[in-house]
Amino acid sequence: MRYISCFVKKKRETIIRISGILFFMYSCLMVWEVFVGPYRSYSGIRRYNLYPFKTIVDYFMNSRQYSFDVLFINLAANIVTFIPLGFFASLLFKRFSNIITVVVFSTITITVIETLQFVFNVGVFDIDDIILNTLGCIVGFTLYKIIKWILGKQKG
Q: Which tops the pLDDT comparison, 10 or 22? A: 22
CB distance 80 to 87 below 8 Å: no
The total number of structural domains that make up the chain = 1
Q: Is the pLDDT of residue 63 over 90?
A: no
Q: What is the mean pLDDT of residues 69-74?
A: 86
> How many whole angstroms separate alpha carbon 83 and alpha carbon 8?
27
pLDDT at 44: 78
Alpha-carbon distance 64 to 131, whole Å? 23
The boundaries of the domain holding residue 22 are 2-155
Q: Which residues contact 55 (CB under 8 A, 6 or more apart)?
A: 49, 74, 126, 128, 129
With H, G, I as helix, E, B as strand and everything else as coil, classify residue 66. coil
Predicted confidence at residue 133, as pLDDT, reads: 97
